[in-house]
């Protein structure tokens, strides 16, 4: 007899939709659920707050209690809940609260980053307090850390301090178009140790914060979004330069992305070996578009010069063949 082979029945679209809606609901209200659970837990066990207060008194003179399984469980639960609250609070602060304020993006990022660092530091202290660690004894830990810094953590501390300086001084900020150590791209985030740079090839580059402060940085969008567009072109020596200049100025006047003030202009930059070098220069109010503006203008220049019989020269070489005497 042939046995029937059981096949797994795929869930219906309605079931998938219900589960998806349930997951979205949980993700939306998980922050409130965690806060409610944490509040209920503290209500049922108020001695935790007393322990935290005693632990926060660094010079109380009381010896730190031994770490018990109960304290470890309570500290772990608090740290996990606090971690989720900090992450969700950071997103809410960025996307809902600060997004409605007329404030520069870099200032918003600085506020969020500094608040996050302070809250994480407070969470760490509270977690140690729940464990029963007397904060007065942390001086020993900091002393050990100073020895470690002296031997091998200078680079980490240097990058951390540099990151704080970058957040306050703001030589670069999120969204800036920068060139750092030969790497060109958009600043995506400024982290504790390094800055994340997204290149125009869609690759991510982590640059240590100390290298940003100690090296040369080109920031195209530091003060404003204005930027210069340069279109180089060469013409032959028998060209009417005034006609070529008028054509270039007309093309610049027809480009809506170039500012009228300051007005575009044309320079003769060099009498080269193959032709006369000229440059059309203008300013755009969005430097991010300068590549596309330059390319579009070069298309129009090539077509306009061809229509007006203006030659764009190219290198030419004359080769002389010397005849051998024995032939």
| Residue 189 counted as domain residue | yes
Residue with tokens 């809940």: 81
Does residue 63 surpass a pLDDT of 50? no
Contact 229, 258 (CB under 8 A): yes
Task: Say if residue 233 is in the same domain as residue 279.
Answer: yes
Tens-digit pLDDT profile for residues 66-79 = 566 677 777 787 88
| 204 and 178 assigned to the same domain | yes
Bridge partner list, 231: 280
Same structural domain for residues 211 and 235?
Answer: no
pLDDT-derived band at 59, boundaries 50, 70, 90: very low
Residue 185 maps to a domain: yes
Q: What string of DSSP letters covers 281-302?
A: EEEES-GGGHHHHHHHHHHHHH
Say which CATH number the domain at 183 has. 2.30.30.60
Structure tokens at 199: 């290149």
Domain count of the chain?
Answer: 3
Same domain flag for 85 and 176? no
**Is 31 a domain residue?**
yes
Q: Positive or negative, the Cα torsion across 168, 169, 173, 178?
A: negative
The answer to the question of residue 60 being in a domain is yes
Enter the pTM of the model: 0.57
Domain match, 135 and 209 both:
no
Q: Are residues 296 and 203 in the same domain?
A: no
Backbone torsions φ then ψ of 175, nearest 5 degrees: 95, -10
Q: Is the domain of 32 the same as that of 131?
A: yes
Clarify whether residues 251 and 295 are in a common domain: yes
Give how far Cα 199 sits from Cα of 64, 122, 175, Å.
51, 36, 12
- Same domain? For 287 and 269 the reply is yes
Same domain membership, residue 247 and residue 194 = no
Assigned domain for 7 exists: no
Residue 317 lies in a domain: no
Task: Report the length, in residues, of the chain.
Answer: 327
pLDDT in tens, 236-273: 998 999 999 999 999 999 999 999 989 999 999 999 88
Q: How far is CA 129 from CA 54, 179, 300, in A?
A: 8, 45, 70
- Do 232 and 215 share a domain, yes or no? no
Q: Assess if residue 188 is contained within a domain.
A: yes
Q: Which residues constitute the domain of residue 204?
A: 170-219
Domain CATH for 302: 3.30.70.100
What does the pLDDT read at residue 280? 94
**77-87 mean pLDDT:** 81
The count of other CB atoms within 10 Å of the CB of residue 290 is 20
Give the pairing of strands 217-219 and 204-208.
Answer: unpaired
Q: Is 236 domain-assigned?
A: yes
Query: Which residue is listed with tokens 């005034």?
Result: 242
Report, as an integer, the average pLDDT of 62-67. 51
**Whether residues 270 and 198 fall in one domain:** no
Which tokens sit at 27? 């993700």
């Amino acid at each position: 007899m042939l046995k029937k082979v059981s096949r797994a029945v795929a869930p219906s679209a309605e079931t998938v939709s219900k589960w998806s809606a349930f997951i979205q609901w949980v993700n939306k209200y998980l922050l409130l659920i965690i806060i409610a659970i944490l509040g209920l837990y503290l209500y049922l066990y108020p001695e935790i707050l007393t322990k935290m207060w005693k632990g926060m008194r660094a010079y109380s003179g009381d010896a730190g209690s031994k770490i018990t399984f109960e304290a470890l469980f309570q500290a772990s639960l608090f740290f996990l809940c606090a971690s989720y609250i900090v992450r969700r609070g950071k997103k809410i602060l960025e996307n809902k609260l600060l997004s409605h304020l007329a404030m520069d993006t870099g200032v918003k990022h600085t506020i969020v980053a500094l608040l996050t660092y302070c809250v994480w530091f407070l969470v760490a202290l509270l977690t140690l307090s729940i464990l029963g660690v007397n904060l007065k004894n942390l001086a020993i830990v900091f002393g050990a850390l100073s020895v470690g810094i002296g031997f091998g953590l200078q680079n980490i501390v240097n990058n951390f301090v540099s990151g704080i300086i970058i957040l306050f001084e703001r030589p670069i900020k999120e969204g800036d178009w920068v060139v750092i150590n030969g790497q060109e791209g958009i600043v995506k985030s400024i982290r504790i140790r390094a800055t994340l740079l997204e290149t125009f090839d869609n690759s991510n580059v982590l640059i240590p914060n100390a290298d940003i402060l100690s090296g040369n940085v080109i920031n195209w969008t530091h003060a404003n979004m204005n930027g210069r567009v340069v279109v180089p072109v060469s013409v032959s020596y028998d060209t009417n330069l005034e006609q070529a200049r008028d054509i270039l100025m007309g093309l610049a006047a027809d480009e809506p992305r170039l500012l009228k003030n300051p007005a575009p202009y044309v320079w003769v930059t060099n009498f080269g070996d193959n032709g006369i070098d000229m440059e059309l220069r203008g300013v755009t109010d969005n430097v991010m578009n300068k590549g596309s503006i330059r390319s579009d203008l070069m298309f129009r220049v090539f077509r306009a010069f061809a229509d007006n019989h203006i030659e764009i020269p190219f290198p030419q070489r004359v080769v002389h063949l010397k005849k051998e005497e024995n032939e």
